[in-house]
Amino acid sequence: MAFPATYDFNYYKGDTFEFRIYPKKNDGTVFDLSGYLDSNVLYNTNTIDGVTGSAPYEQARFSIAPARGSASAAIIPGFARIHGDGTHVRCAIRPSDSVRLNAGTEYFYDVEVRVPSGGPDNPFYEKVITLMTGKITVTEQVTLDPVPGD
């Protein structure tokens, strides 16, 4: 596997920024993520796509931090969800996530998938694979001045 990929991008504070990651094996075939979905383990309640409630431990994580190795209190979670067919991870920075981001600042991020310990294929420890990493430069939201006479 050729992970992690690197992708740096600019984010306009207050906007919604979405991207998808389609991981591939070294031979170019799809890296199946369906093994990272476990409907038996629930994570904390959250509102995702307008639905509030507990959801499966489909542990794709999109973590944004001011520096590599930041303490967990400094980590800003973005949205991440593995698609039901196991082909990709959908990620987003939502306007509510941007409240903790400062314009003019560069942040570091990682997108990971995890398998909890305790299953027959993974009895001893949690598996973590970093799919993508990079930098986010935050820019103040762009607003246009009204055109005179409008």
User: 97 — phi, psi (to 5°)?
Assistant: -70, -30
The string of DSSP letters for 12-81 reads: ETTS-EEEEE--B-TTS-B---GGG-EEEEE---EEETTEEE--EE--EEEEEESSTT--GGG-EE-EEE
Query: Domain segments of the chain: what residues?
Result: 5-139
pLDDT digits (tens, 9 = 90+) for 29-64: 989 988 787 554 444 444 444 444 444 445 788 999
pLDDT digits (tens, 9 = 90+) for 5-33: 899 999 999 999 999 999 998 888 989 98
**Continuous H helices in 48-112:** none
pLDDT digits (tens, 9 = 90+) for 62-102: 999 999 888 888 899 999 988 888 899 999 999 999 999 99
Q: Name 101's Cβ contacts closer than 8 Å, sequence gap at least 6.
A: 11, 13, 64, 76, 93, 107, 136, 138
User: What single-letter DSSP state applies at residue 99?
Assistant: G
Neighbours of 143 (CB within 10 A): 7
Q: Are strands 9-12 and 127-139 parallel, antiparallel or unpaired?
A: parallel
Across-strand partners of 77?
63
At 21, list the tokens.
């990651």
- In this structure, whether the domain defined by 5-139 belongs to CATH 2.60.40 is answered with yes
